[in-house]
Amino acid sequence: MTETTTRPAGPLAGIRILDMTRILAGPTCAQLLGDLGADVIKIERPGVGDDTRSWGPPFLTAEDGGDLDESAYYLAVNRNKRSVTVDFSRPEGVALIKRLLKHCDVLAHNLKVGGLEKFGLGYADLKDEFPGLVYCHISGFGETGPYAKRPGYDALAQAMGGIMSLTGSPDGEPVRVGVGISDIMCGMYASTAILAALRHRDKTGQGQNIDLGLLDTTVAWASNEALNYFTSGDLPKRRGNQHANIVPYQVFPTKDGYFYLAAGNDGQYSRFCEFAGVPELATDPRYDTNPKRLVNRDELVAKLEQVTPKKTTQEWIDGLEQRNVPAAPVYNLEQTFSDPQIKHREMKIEMDQPLAKDGKVALLGNPIKLSETPVSYRRPPPTLGQHTDEVLAELLELSDDDRAKLRDDGLI
């Protein structure tokens, strides 16, 4: 699917975000709001920009076959934004940010605690001048507590938040999730918090500060494993691909690969055993209920691992689907994006990008499907400062000469 338009669209049309975030958590949040129709103005350092612009290879390929200054990492979370360069380390830049804020509903940033305050752009500095402003600050450990001033990164949050202790082989080392999931989840929590704060602002006229820490949000999505610990007092163990509370619920080998079996109840387990040619394992008193299978997990799994390599992955998927037993092939990304369901749901999109080879850039689609106000893909990830003149002319009515002077002064 290709859809590139600059027309505001979606349920957040009319909302404007001043996006002073970088890397992953904040840009994830801002891109999601942009997909939903918000006008996102991405503030970047002149001549440098978001750190992730240089986090490659791979980079987007230019028409001449060389590399553009947009890494794949940067492209992942920066569509539907307008890039404006401002040096806000200088008083003149701070003044420019404040002029832009008069036209914005939200300011989001993920500098360390105190990072914007030293320029007079903290929430306490702005709330009286902009009483309706929703101010969202993402940091590693939140704005309060003994670790507040520590720098925070995704891997540190995964380590301290307990997720790594739950991930990996039982006899191996703790393992981080293969993508920056703490950053991504924090960005998603941030977008929800911003929407809630905007709802409050619309009802009362009052803005507020949103304080989000990577560590907090990582701990929050420990979910059922945290409750297993609270309830039993026993520390959860790493189980590789196994489920803590359901058996069999894990990856099994096949003749030509792997599949994931998710037998979530006794009926599904029984139907699986029938198709697998081992119906006796469904009626065996050691395995006929899930609590018993949990107790006898190791011996049951060992028996099933002798059976599953007798069929191909596709044979397992087809046979179990006919019997209404949940199962899925274990894909690599090439297989993922070739799957007809994922194609149908448009989880890979293309946008027009005139500077790129073939004039296109491939991006991940947004999973949100709204019947009346669908997400839209209006702008490809911007080049550094691409929209500085456009935004300053549109919002602040700065003339060509005014902008030329700011550029000569190194301010934009």
The angle subtended at Cα 332 by Cα 329 and Cα 335, nearest 5°, is 75
- Report the alpha-carbon distance of residue 79 to residue 71 in Å, rounded: 13
For 105-157, give the DSSP string. SEEEE-PPTTTTGGGT-SHHHHTTTSTT-EEEEEESS-SSSTTTTS---HHHH
Q: By the 8 A CB rule, do 8 and 341 touch?
A: no
Q: Which of 17, 38, 34, 24 is nearest to 84 (CA)?
A: 17
- Could you confirm whether 183 is annotated as catalytic? yes
Question: How far is residue 26's CA from residue 50's CA, in Å, rounded to a whole number?
Answer: 11
Cα 293 to Cα 98, 245, 278, 288: the distances in Å are 62, 10, 15, 7
Q: What is the number of residues in the chain?
A: 412
Angle, vertex CA 140, rays to CA 139 and CA 146, nearest 5: 105
Question: Is the CA virtual torsion 93, 94, 100, 106 positive or negative?
Answer: positive
Gap between the Cα atoms of 13 and 11, Å rounded: 6
Considering the candidates 39, 154, 183, 216, report the single residue annotated as catalytic: 183
> Which residues does 306 contact at the CB level (< 8 Å), separation at least 6?
none
Evaluate whether 68 touches 59 at the Cβ level (below 8 Å).
Answer: yes
d(CA 209, CA 224): 29
Q: Where are the beta strands (DSSP E) in 163-235?
A: 208-213
In 3D, which of 242, 144, 142, 231 has the Cα closest to residue 186?
A: 142
Secondary structure of residue 363 in the 3-state scheme: strand
**Active-site residue list:** 183
